[in-house]
Amino acid sequence: MDKYEIVKRIENYAPPELAENWDCSGWVVETGKKDIQKIMLALTVTDDVVRQADKNNCDMIISHHPLFFVPLKYKNADIYCAHTNMDGTEGGTTDRLIDILGFKKSVNIGNFTRLVSLKEAISVKDFAEILRGISPHLRYVNNSGVNEIKNIAFCAGSGSEFIQEAFENGADAFVTGDLKFHTALDSPIVIFDIGHFESEIMILDVFENLLSDIKVLRAQEKSPFIYVNNFS
């Protein structure tokens, strides 16, 4: 398939104008080759992902995370990224996370933040157990010691800057990744940190669905963090 037709599908779903000004979404590497036979999907383009693409004879890599610097050794295959535009679009990164967890989005409360309003309140403990299904190393903050939550905001990836926005829009809990110490101390609501990788890896489902008539492979990826309970 023509690589520009492939990109057109992605950009029709996640319009480039939704990307933040600082973002590097779009073409990262654009070779002279036009026809694409096989694509590798990845959350992040790394040396290992590039090796996997080469080993599997992939003509193109499509990722969520962008590259701000492109090593020469990455320039043998076309690379395209859809980052904050895929985060902000309907059915994008955060919406996919909510779907995977079995909830239904109630409203958008920001370009990247979604709110789920449950019909009945759920205990913090029970909600944590739901999240542990996709994030075994979940951690959370509960400064006010609340027992139940009902209005839960979500932002996949690193979204802790939106905690106040979530609070002001009625959320009593917030699900994201990459939570920092002082942000946790100051939070007026319950925060669940499920990890950056764990909150975004399911966006590859969306890419795969958009390219269902093309041969695609998923890169073998995992979070870079090693947890002490995983030591043998």
Q: For residue 207, tell me if it sits in a domain.
A: yes
pLDDT at 194: 98
In a domain, 227, yes or no: no
Residue 214 counted as domain residue? yes
Please give the residue range of the domain that contains residue 133: 88-199
Residues 15 and 44 in one domain: yes
Backbone phi, psi, residue 168, to 5°: -70, -20
- Euclidean distance between CA atoms 173 and 176, whole angstroms: 10
- Where is 141: in which H helix or E strand? strand 139-141
- Does residue 8 belong to any structural domain of this protein? yes
Give the pLDDT of residue 231: 57
pLDDT at 14: 98
Q: Please say whether the beta carbons of 177 and 157 come within 8 A.
A: yes
83's tokens: 């980052």
In DSSP terms, which residues pair with 190 in a beta bridge?
173
H/E element holding 54?
helix 47-55
Any residues with CB less than 8 A from the CB of 151 and at least 6 apart, and which?
Answer: 115, 116, 117, 118, 170, 171, 172, 173
Same structural domain, 115 and 59: no
Q: How many domains does the chain have?
A: 2
215 and 156 share one domain: no
User: Is the separation of the CB atoms in 116 and 98 below 8 Å?
Assistant: yes
Integer Cα distance of 131 and 139 in angstroms: 10
How many other C-beta atoms are found inside a 10 Å radius of the C-beta of residue 51? 12
Domain shared by 74 and 158, yes or no: no
Would you state the pLDDT for residue 228?
A: 80
Return the CATH number at 159.
Answer: 3.40.1390.30
pLDDT in tens, the chain (232 residues): 999 999 999 999 999 999 999 999 999 999 999 999 999 999 999 999 999 999 999 999 999 999 989 998 999 999 999 999 999 999 999 999 999 999 998 899 989 999 999 999 999 999 999 999 999 889 999 999 999 999 999 999 999 999 999 999 999 999 999 999 999 999 999 999 999 999 999 999 999 999 999 999 999 999 999 888 755 5
What is the rounded CA–CA span in Å between residue 156 and residue 219?
A: 20
- 37, part of any domain: yes
**Same-domain pairing of 14 and 65:** yes
